[in-house]
Amino acid sequence: MIQRLEPAPGVLYVVGTPIGHLGDLSPRAKSILMKVTAIACEDTRHSSKLLKSIGSNSPLFSFHKHNIQSRLPRILDHLEKGQSIALISDAGLPGISDPGELLVAASRKAGHEVICIPGPCAATTALVSSGLPCNTFCFEGFLPNSGNTRKQKIAEISKEPRTTIIYEAPHKLLKLLGDLEEACGADRPLQVARELTKIHEEQIGPTISSAIHHFQKKKPIGECTLILGGAPPPPPSNPPTEELIKELRTLIQTGLSASDATRQLAASSGQSKRMLYSLLHKEKLDKAN
């Protein structure tokens, strides 16, 4: 496959960097970080360690929520002049609970090309190793710290049928687990992925109560991502008894035995065979009395 020469002039590269293990920096990400005109990062001291480890001398400058107003026009100006800029965050994919979204939106709006160099992300890494359903899921990131907005968000999450991904700082983990237990019940499936890709990586579960039990005994430290199982489907609503009896009678009138009629109705209505059979039995007794 013929590949485009990278970095191309005037392009903003959104580069995924390791969430722990430095070996997870892809060769393509490394090459971009070596060759771009400049790199925008959250914290220059933090990111200079990564750049040093790969021998990159590309100039670094900070881009975070406190200097967006002053930095944005300057970055757009660099792109306009044909410079290539890489955007990285402290770890993982910029834009996922990290600054970057605004720069990407502004670059697109100004007509500049934005290319993502995919890389590690704590959310998807925790999800796929949790053993919980991951074909559909929702990402909540950090929940509101307190007040009604937090309560509402947790109530909403407790009813969500899809697997939910939540980020949390270690010193707030037990409080979050307690709030989730109250809203979702102690037995709701949950995995806490701790220190992913690092030497002390571990998964703690399989339920909210077992995670609480674990972290009450062992103080949470390091980085944690929670994977919460979806809310179980509501039990099938019971159609009125008379309606079920009527359907059973109709089936029996077509020539089915009582046992075949209950089996057929159980399959079509989701009701248990035993319950339908006892309905029939009770009806017979009522008639006899």
Residues of this chain that interact with ligand SAM (CB under 6 A) are 19-20, 89, 91-93, 96-98, 121-123, 167-169, 193, 195-198, 223-225
Q: What are the tokens at 199? A: 């030497």
Q: Which is nearer to ligand SAM, 226 or 244 (CB)?
A: 226
Shortest CB 76 distance to ligand SAM, Å: 23
Shortest CB 239 distance to ligand SAM, Å: 45
Element (H, E) at 191: strand 190-194
Q: Which is nearer to ligand SAM, 35 or 198 (CB)?
A: 198
Encoded amino acid at 61, one letter: F
Q: Which is nearer to ligand SAM, 122 or 132 (CB)?
A: 122
**What own/partner pairs with CB < 8 Å and gap ≥ 24 does 142-150 have?**
142/97, 142/166, 142/167, 142/168, 143/168, 143/176, 145/172, 150/179
Measuring CA to CA, how many Å separate 109 from each of 89, 187, 208, 267?
22, 47, 43, 55
Residue with the CB atom nearest ligand SAM in the bound state: 92
Q: Which is nearer to ligand SAM, 31 or 97 (CB)?
A: 97
Shortest CB 1 distance to ligand SAM, Å: 27
- DSSP 8-state class, residue 66: T
- C-alpha 87/C-alpha 37 separation (Å) is 11
Q: Which is nearer to ligand SAM, 96 or 132 (CB)?
A: 96
Shortest CB 262 distance to ligand SAM, Å: 51
Shortest CB 251 distance to ligand SAM, Å: 55
User: Residue 211 burial (CB < 10 Å; 0-12/13-18/19+)?
Assistant: buried
